[in-house]
Amino acid sequence: MEDHILDLLPQEIASLLLAERIQKYRIDQLLNWIYPNLIIEPEQMTNLPADFKKKIIQIFDFRLPEIIKKKKAGDGTSKYLLKLADNNLIEMVIIPNLGKTTLCISSQVGCSRGCKFCATASLGLKRNLKVSEIVAQVYLAKRILKDKKLTNIVFMGMGEPLDNLPNVLKTIQILQHEKCFSFSPRRITISTCGIIAGIRKLAESDLKVKLAVSLNSAIQEKREELMPVAKLYPLAELKNALLSFRKETAFRITFEYVMIKDFNMGKEDVKALLKFLGDISCKLNVIKWNEVAGLPYKSPTNADVEHFMKAMEKLSSAITYRQSRGAEIAAACGQLAGNY
């Protein structure tokens, strides 16, 4: 099976084509079509000779996932269901907000981590996404947006990114490469449920990227109830790994806290959270739980949120209440499960 063109860094594409005695300027033309011009179909590359097009079609796969469904919310958030070459389905979400446009991308078909509040967990894990399948989500989003700039990319869609770390790391290399999308490290965030081995490997990779951790409780027993991964990676061990990670990056760690009524918003929850975050250079994002049919949790009221935020004012780090986007089309955090 031929390599997909989006699986490869520019130097890897060049190496394969130079071995075929292709002139370097032709390779540069090819890359210019694919990335700056967002033309991946060889037949549309008008300044390439027919024999070169025939050659690259033999060497590379150029197919993109098919957009088979789209939903748009009143707030402008759009959710897309993509069909992969093997007929598996994934989702991506485009979120416009206050002059920024964020793309939420998937890294796996389903997820194995079983977080109790997340709809994707109900799917189980089918497989990891290939590099090309992750890059293709960015590719498609940029085509959809046309002249409107894509400003941020978050690995917060379906799957646990650190369970597919080699492919996620190479994807980020491609996204940041000057001959590809030249994305700033400040504009790319990997979100994890707390895979310690993956956090350490990410630190060792020397790749510049932001890290977000889905925390949801700083009380071990409660976190285990919500997130089975906490039994494998207890809070104390997770914190040590994050303190080590923080030494290797210029970016503060972001903690994500899904507020669930009558579960993780009480006095003891606030006290534990303040203690856990107190000595970490970080940001805390809090968000209401987005209701998922069949799950036993409740979303807090605005008064509940106001009370929780007031109690968290003692935190020395920045805290942000993030409004859910796209909840009406099941496109918000924790809702991605192919429901249209």
What pLDDT sits at residue 110? 94
pLDDT at 95 over 90: yes
50 Cβ partners below 8 Å, 6+ apart? none
CA distances in angstroms from 327 to 37, 105, 244, 320, 339, listed in the order given: 33, 16, 35, 19, 12
Q: What mean pLDDT comes out for the span 212-239?
A: 96
Structure confidence at residue 325 (pLDDT): 57
Q: What is the pLDDT of residues 170-184, one digit of tens each?
A: 999 999 999 999 999
Task: Give residue 336's pLDDT.
Answer: 58
pLDDT for res 66: 98
Please say if the pLDDT value at position 44 is more than 80.
yes
Q: Tell me, what's the pLDDT at 122?
A: 83
CA distance 54 to 125: 37
State the angle between helix axes of 196-204 and 165-176 in degrees (0 to 180), rounded to the nearest 10: 40
pLDDT at 136 over 60: yes
| CA distances, 157 to each of 149, 271, 290 (Å) | 20, 30, 14
* Alpha-carbon distances, residue 274 vs 287, 295, 300 (angstroms): 17, 28, 20
pLDDT value at residue 337: 56
Confidence of residue 203 (pLDDT cuts 50, 70, 90): very high
| Average pLDDT value over all residues in the chain | 93
Q: Which residue in the list 91, 133, 160, 256 is annotated as catalytic?
A: 91
Per-residue pLDDT, 81: 96
pLDDT at 119: 78
CATH 1.10.150.530 segments of the chain: 3-61
pLDDT, one tens digit per residue, over 10-19 is 999 999 999 9
**Average confidence (pLDDT) over 53-68:** 96
Residues of the chain with CATH 3.20.20.70: 66-329
Among 122-126, 165-169, 218-222, which is the least confidently predicted range? Answer: 122-126
Q: What is the reported pLDDT for 11?
A: 98
282 is catalytic: no
CB neighbour burial string for 88-122, b if at least 16 within 10 angstroms, e if fewer:
ebbbbbbbbeeeebbbbbbbbbbbebebebbbbbe
Q: Based on DSSP, count helices (H) and strands (E) in the chain, helices before strands.
A: 11, 14
- pTM recorded for the entire structure: 0.93
Helix (H) or strand (E) holding 256: strand 253-259
CA end-to-end distance (rounded Å), the chain: 33
User: Per residue in 148-168, is it b (16+ CB within 10 Å) or e — as a string?
Assistant: eebbbbbbbbbbbbbbbbebb
Residue 334 has pLDDT above 80, yes or no: no
Quickly name the fold that domain 66-329 has. TIM Barrel (3.20.20)
Q: Which of 111, 118, 282, 333 is catalytic?
A: 333
Confidence tier at 5 by pLDDT (50, 70, 90): very high
Q: What is the DSSP string of 199-234?
A: HHHHHHTT---EEEEE-S-SSHHHHHHH-THHHHS-
Residue 310: predicted pLDDT: 95
Give per-residue pLDDT as tens, 234-278: 999 999 999 999 999 999 999 999 999 999 999 999 999 999 999
pLDDT, residue 117, reads 83
91 is catalytic: yes
> Pick the residue with more confidence: 120 or 202?
202
Check if the beta carbon of residue 76 is closer than 8 Å to that of residue 96.
Answer: yes
* pLDDT recorded at residue 324: 64
Report the percentage of the chain scoring pLDDT > 70. 95
What does the DSSP assignment read for 101-135? EEEE--SEEE-SS--TT-GGGGG-EEEEPPHHHHH
d(CA 317, CA 283): 6
* pLDDT above 60 for 297: yes
* CATH number attached to the domain at 3-61: 1.10.150.530
Task: Give dist(CA 193, CA 212) in Å, integer.
Answer: 9
Q: Are strands 78-83 and 89-97 parallel, antiparallel or unpaired?
A: antiparallel
pLDDT band at 88; cut points 50, 70, 90: very high
